[in-house]
Amino acid sequence: MKKINPLKIIPFYKNEKVLIKRAISGNREAQKWLYDSFAPKMLGVCRQYIKDLQFAEDVMIEGFVKVFRHLEGFKHEGSFEGWIRRIMIRECISHLRKRQFVVYDDEVFEKNHMETTPTGEPLDENHMQYLIDGLPEGYKMVFVLYSVEGYKHAEIAEMLSISENTSKSQLFKARRMLRDKLRALEMREARNISNKA
């Protein structure tokens, strides 16, 4: 692969608009720089929704192909990162729908209700991701969109093609499930401490 001259990259970095224009014109260095800048964050976003990292990476690749294909459509009115992030989230939703992961049936959710958490360590990124991964896909998507990404129920309802009330209900149940998991975790931690004592 062709090595990128860092001297050429520095002025690119200073002006994102110029970089995007060059990427639109087909400049491979500019495209690579954009990819390198945003790919790690976007893979983190995809991983929030998709449990399997390989699938998450595939979705991120698909998202970046769409980003470069529709780069001319970016009007520089908002954050470029936010624009890419929206594309990635929509791509994740589309992926989950295609694979029929999303189930909005309450009975299915109750089966996974008492899943145990494996660690007694303090809550880090991986631990939180593990807790979220334990949620059913429908709960998880609404929870991540609302609590992590900051979308409103109306926006979530439009993105997932559900009603606002369903979105609110899903969020309520997701929170309840997470609370139960947290309590179970705390009880386990307390037992471990008493056993050690």
Partner 1 sequence: MELNELEKLAREKLGSREIRPSDRAWTEVAGRIDHQKKSPKRFKPWYAAAAVLIGLIIGSMVLLNKPEMAVGTEEIVNTPLNEEAPAEAKAPQDIPPKTAETNPVVLAETEEPSEENQVLTGELHEEDEILDDNQQIATVVETETPVELGTDISLLDEEDSVIASKVAEVVSQVALLEQNDGTVSDAEVDSLLRKAQEELLKERIFRKDNSVDAVALLNEVEAELDQTFRDRIFEKLKTGFIKVRTAVADRNN
CB of 39 to partner 1, least distance (A): 5
For partner 1, which is the closer residue by CB, 56 or 157?
56
CB of 196 to partner 1, least distance (A): 20
The only residue of 150, 194, 195, 197 in contact with partner 1, by rule CB under 8 A? 150
Tell me: does residue 149 bind partner 1 (CB under 8 A). yes
**How many residues make contact with partner 1 (CB under 8 A)?**
40
- Which part of the chain contacts partner 1 (CB under 8 A), choosing from 13-21, 44-52, 75-83, 91-99? 44-52
Backbone CA torsion sign across 71, 74, 80, 81 = negative
Tell me: does residue 178 bind partner 1 (CB under 8 A). yes
- 74 HSE (CA, 13 A, CB side): 25
Assess contact for 50 and 96: CB atoms under 8 A.
yes
Tell me: does residue 148 bind partner 1 (CB under 8 A). yes
CB of 87 to partner 1, least distance (A): 13
Judged by CB under 8 A, the chain residues 96 through 135 that form the site for partner 1 are: 123-125, 128-129, 131-132
For partner 1, which is the closer residue by CB, 109 or 146?
146
C-alpha 59/C-alpha 55 separation (Å) is: 6
Q: Which residues contact partner 1 by CB under 8 A?
A: 1, 26, 28, 31-32, 35-36, 39-41, 43-44, 47-48, 53, 56-57, 60-61, 64-65, 68-69, 123-125, 128-129, 131-132, 144, 147-150, 175, 178-179, 182, 186
